[in-house]
Chain A
Amino acid sequence: MGQKVLLTSKEINIILHRLACQLLENHLDFKETALIGIQPRGVFLAERLASILKTEYGVKDIALGFLDITFFRDDFGRGEILRANTTKMDFLVEDKKVVFIDDVLYTGRSIRAALTAIQSFGRPRSIELLTLIDRRFSRHLPIQPNYRGRQVDAIGDEKVKVMWEGNDGEDRVYLISK
């Protein structure tokens, strides 16, 4: 099993600032916008981006939610059962500009599930997708990110692992091959 560093903490920091600026460019004061971290691992990225926007770019209020997609997945009964995580949505997304935030975009199935799950909280004006890592050539569905940190060509049995300082002790992205 081999392990390669795809992104160092310095690179991640630069990318996070770039992504924050790109969001800022499109959403300005974030009054009509909701940032939604996809549980479990998208939450860390969503929190980091919200914190950068607040502390470094002076955005005052950001609607930040966490969406769990476990009950909306399309593989129920086809593999191991996953424990659900908390959904925390203190607002309705009715007529909001929603940005889904996840760490890795792979097959696109999680985002498909999130698109269904979000319907329980209203009808958003639009939905965009932001991911730190976009794994090319592995999509099962026609889903592409609007904002991407880094595009990666990883083959089937390779794994991309994103670590976050707040949770895993360091900011780092690994490519793990079997």
Chain B
Amino acid sequence: MGELSVNHLLGIKYLNKKDITLILETADNFKEVINRSIKKVPTLRDVTIANVFFENSTRTRLSFELAEKRLSADVINFAAGSSSVKKGETLIDTVNNILSMKVDMVVLRHPNPGAGIFLSKHVKASIINAGDGAHEHPTQALLDSYSIREKLGEVAGKNVVIIGDILHSRVALSNIFALKLQGANVKVCGPRTLIPKHIASLGVTVETDLLKALQWCDVANMLRVQNERMDISYFPSTREYTQQYGVNKTILDNLDKEIVIMHPGPINRGVEITSEVADSDRSIILHQVENGVAIRMAVLYLLASKIN
């Protein structure tokens, strides 16, 4: 009846439109569950999930862990920093050792693009990509679509602009795939140096003028400048970046219409977005976080049902 076309969630690229609809609709049910006074259901009580994080994370990791616990799964957490990875163990060995303890699913975050895809070919477990380098972050894109749908009724036909460091952003890529699949119009906006060369081949348009982009859109998804992934200088200074691509209240007040502001976090307040905007009524940043739990419950539930 309602089954995903995939056994792993490695990226939005591998999903079809029906999969996305199924995930978002299942998340509706879980959103109702997590707003009950007792927020837990026993569905995954015989499923064990390992959260394997080779990269830092606050929201994604807490959100996955909470989603797993709300579904009554058994959870083990692995952080690479305090593990035998430091002693030279390979990714496959690390994960196979975890799996030999009878683990059914792995939530993986890794700095290398394609780490999840690689792992899914070599280990026997359902893999969920929780971010692989600058490649994909599928659950973030799903929760972003869910939040847009919740706020504006639907994603199809909406104008969405993704602003900032597109080059280093897995959130941008996953969002582009997800939004295009659902029939939204997508623009990316940022300094030329932070926009990948062939981005137009994904069916998006490029706008370097922030005001024009904001004037066009219904939703602006603000991204953080990922200094940790930059080995060279992509713009003269943070101050100059903020002057050209930072969103503040004055800019929003001067637009013809009210637009929705999103941000996947973590926010660099005062750089890509001012506190006044981040904490305003136009921002749905904290709704995104709440919806993240419901979306991850939906993904875990749908993939776990395919384990046997």
Contact = CB atoms under 8 A, between A and B. Distances in A.
A81 B29 contact: no
B2 A81 contact: yes
B1 interface: yes
A84 interface: yes
A81 B1 contact: yes
B122 interface: no
Interface in B31-50: 32-33, 36-38, 40-44, 46-47
A83 B308 CA distance: 18
Interface of B: 1-3, 25-26, 29, 32-33, 36-38, 40-44, 46-47, 71, 301-302, 304-308
Contact of B43 (A71, A119, A120): A71
23 contacts: A71-B43, A71-B71, A77-B304, A77-B305, A77-B307, A78-B308, A81-B1, A81-B302, A82-B1, A83-B2, A83-B25, A83-B26, A86-B29, A86-B32, A87-B32, A87-B33, A116-B42, A120-B33, A120-B36, A120-B37, A120-B38, A121-B36, A121-B38
Interface of A: 68, 70-73, 76-78, 80-87, 92, 116-117, 119-122
A121 B71 CA distance: 17
> Could you tell me the dominant secondary structure of chain A's interface residues?
loop
Contacts of A76: 43-44, 304-305
A94 to B, nearest CB: 10
Contacts of A84: 26, 29
Given A80-B1, A81-B3, A120-B38, A68 B304 contact: no
A68 B29 contact: yes
A80 B308 contact: no
A120 B306 CA distance: 27
A165 to B, nearest CB: 25
Given A83-B2, A86-B29, A87-B32, A72 B42 contact: yes
A81 B23 CA distance: 13
Contact of A71 (B1, B2, B38, B41): B41
A80 B304 CA distance: 12
A90 to B, nearest CB: 12
Contacts of B42: 71-72, 116
Nearest to A80: B1
A83 B44 contact: no
Given A71-B42, A86-B29, A80 B3 contact: yes
B270 to A, nearest CB: 42
A118 to B, nearest CB: 10
A84 B33 CA distance: 11
Contacts of B306: 81
